[in-house]
Structure 1
Amino acid sequence: MNKITDKQLLIDKIVDAIQDTKGEDILIFDLTTIENSVAETFIICSANSNTQVAAIAGNVEKKVRNDLQDRPWHVEGTENALWVLMDYVSVVVHIFQKETREYYEIEELWGDAKITKIDN
């Protein structure tokens, strides 16, 4: 398999895991045309509580590990679960509590990216 196919499989698996745990407002940002971007793809979603943020993060990690034999390079934010960031190098997942997502307006920061909205 090539790198593009691998990345698309990873994106699809992450989105499936988010949907399984009822994550909402899922957006995929293609950052490949953005200069100095920290990753090629961002996946952003919202949750209603820190319990749900933690559940989504746990499900993403489990599904990707079990199905694709991949692990995140780095994870942060699990202590308070207001905003968990999971770094799979080319793909970075942001799982926000709704209020935290609204506060940081991360969509505005990457407004130049090609954005795909995933229906719940």
Structure 2
Amino acid sequence: MEKNDVLKQIIKSIDDKKAQDIVALDVQGISTFADYFVICTGSSNTQVKAIADNIEKELKEKSNLYAMRKEGYQQGHWVLLDYNNIIVHVFLPDDREFYDLERLWGDAKRLEIETILGE
């Protein structure tokens, strides 16, 4: 499966669970471990976990893809799902602001979510 198709499935899965402020960063050429970062915010620990669960469920059912690594799920403040060339970060608002990955990866190209979803 093409990584752009996987990226679209991830973003759709996030959007289905009403995450806020979805950002997709193209880190190709500036990262040695991923091509894309997807960052979003959930309003509670429960929503953060629900977003992560939905991503895993949808990718497993529709593409037979499994996360290579999953971190932070128990605490539900920042869940990281590693799909090899796409890394997903699901944050609570304060944690997202504190780690500020968008600033840290400021050289990355920001992708238009509507374009990815085909809207």
Q: Does TM-score exceed 0.5, indicating one fold?
A: yes
Shift of 1:33: 2.0
Shift of 1:117: 4.3
CA contact (8 A) 1:30 1:40 kept: yes
Query: Are 1:24 and 2:20 matched, yes or no?
Result: yes
Query: Are 1:84 and 2:79 matched, yes or no?
Result: yes
Shift of 1:37: 3.2
Give the letter for the 1:63 counterpart.
E
Rounded to whole Å, the distance in 2 between the matches of 1:118 and 1:73 is 24
Shift of 1:51: 0.2
Residue of structure 1 in register with 2:66 after alignment: 71
Give the letter for the 1:44 counterpart.
I
Identity among equivalent positions (%) equals 40
CA contact (8 A) 1:26 1:117 kept: no
Residue of structure 1 in register with 2:117 after alignment: none
Q: Please, which runs of 5 or more residues in structure 2 have no aligned partner? A: 115-119
Query: Are 1:15 and 2:11 matched, yes or no?
Result: yes
Q: Please, which runs of 5 or more residues in structure 1 have no aligned partner? A: none
Rounded to whole Å, the distance in 1 between the matches of 2:47 and 2:103 is 24
What CA RMSD, in Å, does the superposition of the two structures yield over aligned residues? 1.2
Rounded to whole Å, the distance in 2 between the matches of 1:110 and 1:37 is 13
Residue of structure 1 in register with 2:105 after alignment: 110
- TM-score, structure 2 length as denominator? 0.91
User: Can you list the C-alpha shifts for 1:30-83, whole angstroms capped at 9, x where unaligned?
Assistant: 01121x432111000001000000000000000000001100000000011100
Rounded to whole Å, the distance in 1 between the matches of 2:32 and 2:48 is 25
CA contact (8 A) 1:25 1:118 kept: no
Residue of structure 2 in register with 1:38 after alignment: 33
Runs ≥4 in structure 1, deviation > 3 angstroms?
none
Rounded to whole Å, the distance in 1 between the matches of 2:89 and 2:102 is 11
Q: 1:50 aligns with which of 45, 63, 69?
A: 45
Aligned residues: 114
User: Can you list the C-alpha shifts for 1:6-36, whole angstroms capped at 9, x where unaligned?
Assistant: 10110000001000000111111101121x4
- TM-score, structure 1 length as denominator? 0.91
